[in-house]
A and B are shown apart, each in its own frame.
Chain A
Amino acid sequence: MKTDWKPLMQRVSSEMIKSIVVSLWFVFLTFPLMVMKIRPLDQTIEWRWMNLVYVGVGAFFLSFVWRYLMARKERGSEKDEGDSWQKRIGMKIRSDKRISVSGLIGVGIFVLIFPFLFSSYQTSIMITALMYVMLGLGLNIVVGLAGLLDLGYVAFYAVGAYFYALMNHHFGIGFWAALPFAGGLAAVFGILLGFPVLRLKGDYLAIVTLGFGEIIRLILENWNELSYGPSGIAGISRPGFFGFEFTLQQHTVYLFYIMVALVALTTIVVSRLRNSRIGRAWIALREDEVACQAMGIDKTRTKLTAFALGATWAGFVGCIFAAKTTFINPASFTFMESAMILSIVVLGGMGSIVGVMVGALVLILLPEYLRAFSEYRMLAFGASMVIIMVFRPQGIISGIRQRYEFRKQPQQEVSP
């Protein structure tokens, strides 16, 4: 086998030149920050020329690696996608019952003994991650399946949390009694939001839902008589267990198991929904509204069920959040939360249940474990989000639908 080196060398040298340009640009951009250091006391400027070299060399290598990866990605997409290793593994897991069942049992056992393996701090982080798994799965109904971009999802989360907090504060109602009603009330709010936005699509819908999220937060912040304003509500009861008195640590473990059970329930319900008649109607509505209407699908009802069923889970999680932190105020329900949940759905893979789970675990756990990088933590977090989106725009695990694949029959049986 003979390789023609000439085009490759040309390619490499042109990439080199581009990378040099990038590094020069970075040197220029970071010059005032990295090179000049002003000492106001003795009114001198220190010139740190070595930093300039570091930035230049660093940017050059990073850009070169970046270009190499991008080129590889482009070449990869030209190839038949059926051959990619991710897909093959996915197919293998799905086709082989043994692997999937034993994998599921393994994960199940790991989850069940998790609180005994790790510290209470780790368990607490995991509870938060599981809460976001549930939020992600709920939003996935609205965004991933029905294709309605909802930027105000946090509003339903707030409704659930405040419902439990207020009920507990005023009437001493317990967690278990409040939980189903928190979900129900959130569903009602979902329908309330749904009605005015039925006609809207895409960007317009996103803006209105964003406004809705802000309205709920502003009401909570300003209606002092109801919500106690920015000072919030403290002293909310933790979940009870037949009148047992738990220590704080035991409470964390207990809440962890509640979360695991609820995530399992959510997963089952959402996956059943996705393959049901209404789930198919959501997917169809996402794809083509006119065709849906021509099929006799009630557009209004289908969209409203998506909003209501999506909001329900946020209501549940809100209730749990209030019970977990025992204190809530409007600052917990900002647009950042909505953006976070949406990122979980998009990064994890729209429409995919496993994808959303992985997305939530990555996005919630990553900032925690990146604490080692202290002030660069959010920078690294942002960079990892960018990298995931560049290299896997369909999300970490893309939505899997049953597909018919056209495969070429192997030409010969002779071993290579």
Chain B
Amino acid sequence: MLKVKNLHSYYGGIHALKSVSLELSQGEIVTLIGANGAGKSTTLMSICGIVPPRYGEIFFMGQPIHHMSPDKIFALGIVQVPEGRRIFADLTVTENLDMGAYLRNDKAGIRKDMEYIFNLFPRLAERRRQLGGTLSGGEQQMLAISRGLMSRPKLLLLDEPSLGLAPVLVQLIFETIQKINQENKTTIFLVEQNANMSLRIAHRGYVMESGVIALEDTAANLLKSEKVKAAYLGL
């Protein structure tokens, strides 16, 4: 579904990605783990065009997308839930969700999807008229993911959804990610520092170290791998 070939990206003057290659198949959860500054977020930003890649190719369902602008890539169905949630603080929960459906025109479908989301996260339904900025961290993360879902993405890119959340909420968020994958057959690319949790729900995983892919395997194998255990799982 998504194929990244020899991707090089620069973040300011820093050579952040040095020949990264990845592949995602339809319906998978694939996780990308690694330390701070390894280039995980840059990989996501390059895929969705916000940080355009300098060299390399990205194909989405056979179509080259590495020269497209972010809004065109979004229109193809690749949706990013950015790191640090980045919800619109001055808009209400419902309006934030509306922003997610910015490119859609089918009002009935939007309403149906909103109901789906309020079922997925009942907390958001309770707070639908509240301003985004007044939500708690966990609720904001729920909103950020929901906002991403509002456009019915084919591929959902999640950047550190567990960042700064209480363990109970992390659990809930990861369960929901799994549920979204199973119920809607949405392909999910999950960038995480919480290697343990993300490898548990993912099918496959990539390990990134200073701009290159260091390891690639099924999630189960990575969980068992001595190297991953020592470096990322703290075992």
Q: Is B57 an interface residue (CB 8 A)?
A: no
Q: Binary interface profile of B, 73-102, with partner A (CB < 8 Å = 1, else 0)? A: 011000111100011111110010011101
The stretch from A3-11, A121-129, A400-408 touching chain B is A400-408
Q: Binary interface profile of B, 147-180, with partner A (CB < 8 Å = 1, else 0)? A: 1100100000000000000000000000000000
> Looking at the complex, which one of B69, B100, B130 makes contact with A295 (CB distance below 8 Å)?
B100
CA distance A334 to B130 in the complex (A): 43
Q: Binary interface profile of B, 122-155, with partner A (CB < 8 Å = 1, else 0)? A: 0000010111000000000000000110010000
Taking a contact as CB atoms under 8 Å apart, the answer to whether A280 and B131 are in contact is no
Taking a contact as CB atoms under 8 Å apart, the answer to whether B75 and A296 are in contact is yes
Closest B residue, CB atoms, query A403: B131
Q: Is B39 an interface residue (CB 8 A)?
A: no
Taking a contact as CB atoms under 8 Å apart, the answer to whether A293 and B131 are in contact is no
Interface centre among A293, A297, A298, A406 (most CB of B within 10 A): A293
Taking a contact as CB atoms under 8 Å apart, the answer to whether A294 and B81 are in contact is yes
Give A291-325 interface residues, CB cut-off 8 Å to B. 291-300
Taking a contact as CB atoms under 8 Å apart, the answer to whether A296 and B131 are in contact is no
Q: Is B217 an interface residue (CB 8 A)?
A: no
Interface centre among A280, A283, A401, A404 (most CB of B within 10 A): A404
Taking a contact as CB atoms under 8 Å apart, the answer to whether B90 and A294 are in contact is no
Main secondary structure of the interface of A (DSSP, over half): helix
**Which B residues are CB-close (under 8 A) to A402?**
92, 129
> Looking at the complex, which one of A280, A290, A403 makes contact with B99 (CB distance below 8 Å)?
A280
Q: How many A-B residue pairs have CB under 8 A?
A: 78
Q: Is A287 an interface residue (CB 8 A)?
A: yes
Taking a contact as CB atoms under 8 Å apart, the answer to whether B74 and A284 are in contact is no
Closest B residue, CB atoms, query A399: B90
CA distance A280 to B132 in the complex (A): 14
Known A287-B90, A290-B50; contact A296-B103, beta-carbon cutoff 8 A: yes
**Which B residues are CB-close (under 8 A) to A280?**
91, 95, 98-99
Known A284-B88, A402-B92; contact A294-B80, beta-carbon cutoff 8 A: yes
Min C-beta distance of A405 to chain B, whole Å? 9
> Looking at the complex, which one of B48, B88, B127, B147 makes contact with A283 (CB distance below 8 Å)?
B88
CA distance A242 to B69 in the complex (A): 51
CA distance A403 to B129 in the complex (A): 7
Known A280-B91, A280-B99, A284-B99; contact A294-B74, beta-carbon cutoff 8 A: yes
Known A284-B99, A288-B86, A290-B82; contact A295-B91, beta-carbon cutoff 8 A: no
> Looking at the complex, which one of B71, B91, B95 makes contact with A296 (CB distance below 8 Å)?
B71
**Which A residues are CB-close (under 8 A) to B48?**
293-294
**Which A residues are CB-close (under 8 A) to B99?**
280-281, 284, 292, 295, 297
Closest A residue, CB atoms, query B150: A295
Q: Is A39 an interface residue (CB 8 A)?
A: no
**Which B residues are CB-close (under 8 A) to A292?**
99
**Which B residues are CB-close (under 8 A) to A406?**
130
Closest B residue, CB atoms, query A277: B102
**Which A residues are CB-close (under 8 A) to B151?**
295-296
> Looking at the complex, which one of B79, B129, B130 makes contact with A294 (CB distance below 8 Å)?
B79
Taking a contact as CB atoms under 8 Å apart, the answer to whether A404 and B131 are in contact is yes
Give B32-61 interface residues, CB cut-off 8 Å to A. 48-50
> Looking at the complex, which one of B69, B91, B129, B130 makes contact with A284 (CB distance below 8 Å)?
B91
Taking a contact as CB atoms under 8 Å apart, the answer to whether A294 and B86 are in contact is yes
Interface centre among B86, B100, B127, B131 (most CB of A within 10 A): B86
Min C-beta distance of A175 to chain B, whole Å? 40
Give A244-303 interface residues, CB cut-off 8 Å to B. 277, 280-281, 283-284, 287-288, 290-300
> Looking at the complex, which one of A288, A296, A299 makes contact with B88 (CB distance below 8 Å)?
A288
Min C-beta distance of B189 to chain A, whole Å? 14
**Which A residues are CB-close (under 8 A) to B95?**
280
Q: Is B70 an interface residue (CB 8 A)?
A: yes
Min C-beta distance of A254 to chain B, whole Å? 42
Taking a contact as CB atoms under 8 Å apart, the answer to whether A297 and B81 are in contact is no
> Looking at the complex, which one of A277, A288, A297 makes contact with B71 (CB distance below 8 Å)?
A297
CA distance A296 to B103 in the complex (A): 7
CA distance A283 to B87 in the complex (A): 12
**Which A residues are CB-close (under 8 A) to B98?**
280
Closest A residue, CB atoms, query B69: A298
Closest A residue, CB atoms, query B76: A296
CA distance A294 to B74 in the complex (A): 7
**Which B residues are CB-close (under 8 A) to A299?**
70-71
**Which B residues are CB-close (under 8 A) to A401?**
90-91
Closest B residue, CB atoms, query A301: B71
Min C-beta distance of A117 to chain B, whole Å? 41
B-to-A contact residues, CB < 8 Å? 48-50, 69-71, 74-75, 79-82, 86-92, 95, 98-100, 102-103, 127, 129-131, 147-148, 151
A-to-B contact residues, CB < 8 Å? 277, 280-281, 283-284, 287-288, 290-300, 401-404, 406
7 A-B pairs with least C-beta separation:
A296-B74, A404-B129, A291-B86, A298-B71, A293-B70, A294-B80, A404-B130
New A-B pairs, 17, CB < 8 Å, besides A296-B102, A403-B92 = A280-B99, A284-B91, A287-B88, A287-B91, A291-B87, A292-B99, A293-B49, A293-B74, A294-B70, A294-B148, A295-B147, A296-B79, A297-B71, A297-B99, A299-B71, A403-B131, A404-B92
26 contacting pairs across A/B (C-beta < 8 A): A277-B102, A280-B91, A280-B95, A283-B88, A284-B99, A287-B91, A288-B88, A290-B50, A291-B86, A291-B87, A292-B99, A293-B49, A293-B70, A294-B50, A294-B82, A295-B99, A295-B100, A295-B147, A296-B70, A296-B71, A298-B69, A402-B92, A402-B129, A403-B129, A404-B92, A404-B131
